[in-house]
Structure 1
Amino acid sequence: MPPGHVFSGRTAAALCGIPLPAAIERDLRVEVTALDGQRAPRGRGVIGRSTQLNPRLLRVAGLRGRLMTAPADAWCELAGVLSLDDLIAAGDRLLGLPRPLATAAEVDAAIARHGRRRGVTRLRLARAQMRPNVYSRRETFMRLLLVRAGLPEPEPNGVIVLRSGRRTRGDLVFRAYRVLVEYDGEQHLLDTEQWATDVSRLNDLAEDDWRVIRITKRMPRAEVVARAERALRDRGWRG
C-alpha cells in the first residue's frame, strides 16, 4: 500500500459495515484503488483499480493509518458489480440503522463525483429507491416486493407509540391502516429473552388494534404479498 493507494469498493464496504451479497462477502480478495491516475496495483489476492476521481477518504481504524474510500463513495464503486436490488439494500444501509454511515447530501455528492462512469444509471435508479431507517437487507427486499406488487409504500422501522406509553418500532409500518409487516429471523427462535420480549410486544400491538403479519425467509413471496394485501384491504385500502 504505497502512498496514493486506498482500500475501495467491496473492501471499503466491508470495513464500514455495508452489507453485500454472500458470494461477494466470501471473496477474500482485497480491492485497492490507485488515485490520481497512478498505475492500478497488481498482485495475488488483489483487485486493482485506477482512478482520476477525487473520492472522499477516511482513515481505517487499527490499520496503521491506511485510507479507504468513504462509505458513499464505496457504494458508488459497487455499482458495476451489484444488481439493482443489492445496490438499493447497500444504499439503505448508508442512511439506515443502527446509525447512518452517510447523509443524503453525501450520497448525492458521491454520485456527482462518479460522473458518467460505469454504473451511473443504476446508481441513480437505486438512489431514487433508497430509504432512511432501514435495519437489514431483508427489510429492503421485503419493501421492494410489496411496492412492486402495487401496495402502498410502508414506513421502514417506524416508531409506534402504544396506549400504554410504550414505544416500539415495526419493520414495515403501514401507519394509515394500522398494519405491520414483521420479518422474523432465526434469532427470534434461538434467543429466549428476545422471544419473550417479542411476545409481550406483539400482545401490546394487538391490544392497540394493530394487524401484524409475521414473515420468515421460507415464506413464498406470493404469500407475503397476498397476506399484506388482505390485511390492507380489510383496513380500508382500495388500491
Structure 2
Amino acid sequence: MTTSQGTRRPIKTRDHRFAQRITVWLSKRQISPNQISLASIGFAAFAALMLVFWRHAEGGADWLLPIMAIAGIQGRLLCNLFDGMVAMEGGKSTPSGELYNDMPDRLADTLLLVAAGYAAASWQPAGIWMGWLAAMLAVATAYVRVLGASMGAPMRFLGPMAKQHRMALLTAACLVSVLESFWWPKGVAMFVVTLVFVVGCTWTIARRTRAIHCYLVDQSHVISSDPERATEQGADHV
C-alpha cells in the first residue's frame, strides 16, 4: 500500500499508543498492508452474513447474531486503520497500495449496507431496495472524492455520511436490534438506518461535489490571473 499524508483519511485513533504498538507488531510480521486491506472484506462478509441470518433467527440467535455482526464491522474498521499505519508508519508501502486501499472498501460497504437492507425483516421488499440504494450511494461518495482528486482537487473526506459515520450508525443499529423485539417489530432499526444512509450519503455527495467545484473554480481564477502559472499547468498535463 502506498499513501501520502494528503490523501489519508484523518483518524485520531492513529495517535493512540495501543494502535501504534499493534502497528509495530504487525510491521515485524510477514503481513503486508495489502493483505490487511483484503482481510477487511472477510470481516465485512462475516458481518453481512450475520445480519442476513438474523432476519430469520429466533431464540438466543436473535440477540447473538447482531453482536457477532458488530464484531465483524469493528474488525473491518480495524483493518482499515492498520493497513494504512503499517504502510506508512511501518514502511511497507507498495506501488499497488492505493488500489488495495480503495477497492476492498467499496466491496465491504456494499456487502454491509445491502445486508442491512435484507435484515429489515418487517419492511420488505422496501428494505432490500433501500439497502441496495444505500450501497450505491456509499460507493458514489467515494467516487466523487476520487474524481475530485483526479482533477487536481484535495481529497474530500467530508460527511455527514463518510465511511466511519456509516459504520458507527450500523453498529448502533445492531445494538438496538438486540432488544428491539421488546419495543417494535423486528428489523425496524435496520430499515431506519438504511433510510438514514440514503439521505446522509446524498447529502455527503452534494457537499463533496460543491467543495470540489468551488476549489476548481477558485483555481481557474488564479490561473487566469497568472499567465505564467497557466503555462506551467498546461505543461504538467502534456
- TM exceeding 0.5: no
Is the helix fraction higher in 1 or 2? 2
Q: Give me the TM-score of the superposition, normalised by structure 2.
A: 0.25
More strand by share: 1
Tell me: higher relative CO, structure 1 or 2? Use CA pairs within 8 A at least 6 residues apart: 2
Q: TM-score when scaled to structure 1?
A: 0.25
